Amino acid sequence: MAVGPSEIEKIAHLARIRIAPDQIDEVASRLSDILGMVDQMQAVDTSSVAPMANPHDATQRLRPDAVTEPNQRDTFLAIAPQSEDGLFLVPKVIE
């Protein structure tokens, strides 16, 4: 898929990036190369490949789900500027 200079200017405008006029042709060429590579990858038949969540045959080691810190809710609520029924009260920020 070829990308022309006018498309590069439009993309740059939409992305709010500045591309120097003397670099537009180079950017167009590089972007065309990238899109060509994507087209090549999409042409590969992957119908016999099973979907994977992870390309590695490893399992993640998980730590035990155990409480390691004491409950300090009452301590933190005591130093809060405002609290009510066990909740922190905060100023309204949306009008």
Q: Residue 24 belongs to a domain with what CATH number?
A: 1.10.20
* Amino acid letter for position 67: V
Is 58 inside a domain boundary?
A: no
Is 25 inside a domain boundary?
A: yes
Q: Which residues contact 25 (CB under 8 A, 6 or more apart)?
A: 5
Is 82 inside a domain boundary?
A: no
Q: Report whether 18 contacts 12 (CB < 8 A).
A: yes
**28 class by beta-carbon count within 10 Å (0-12 exposed, 13-18 middle, 19+ buried):** buried
Is 38 inside a domain boundary?
A: yes
The structural domain count of the chain equals 1
Is 33 inside a domain boundary?
A: yes
Per-residue pLDDT tens digits for 68-91: 999 999 999 999 999 999 999 998
Residue 23 belongs to what domain range?
A: 5-42
Tell me the whole-structure pTM to 2 decimals.
0.51
Interatomic CA distance for residues 90 and 17, integer angstroms: 39
Q: Report whether 8 contacts 28 (CB < 8 A).
A: yes
Per-residue pLDDT tens digits for 8-64: 999 999 999 999 999 999 999 999 999 999 999 999 999 998 888 777 777 778 889
